[in-house]
Amino acid sequence: MLVGRVMDTSGNLVEGQQIIVTDPENGQNWFARSYGFEAVNSDPYYRENLVVGDLPAGTYQLRLAYAGFSHQAELEIYTGMVTYFVFRGHNSFSVEAPPAPEFDPLGTLAPVP
């Protein structure tokens, strides 16, 4: 599963941003758009605004057009695992884990600042 947080350069979530995930071995594409602001509840750990599920394990090319520029990143999908990416506008992509969670006194996940 591919999980992402798509933001502008200032760190604000971007609504309706299209991404294309391509398997370079066979050219198959998967298309997705980042969530609308009120459309879906994000996971409290990932704080994602985009998910592409059921991707076979392998290496993929992730592409999107932002503010007139094309951005791309290569990433690996592993069976039974989540691959997480962050897009930060003109700062482009990073493939990184979200901040380590800590539990607040109410027992809900909260990212470490």
29-73 residue pLDDT tens: 999 999 987 767 888 888 899 999 999 999 999 999 999 999 999
pLDDT band for 87, please (50, 70, 90 cuts): very high
Share in percent of the chain as helix, strand, coil (round to 5) = 5, 45, 50
CA distance 29 to 111: 32
Instruction: Report pTM.
Output: 0.82
CATH class of 2-101: mainly beta
Residue 103: pLDDT band by 50, 70, 90 thresholds? low
Model confidence at 110: pLDDT above 80: no
Q: For the chain, what are the domain ranges?
A: 2-101
Residue written as tokens 């989540």?
A: 82
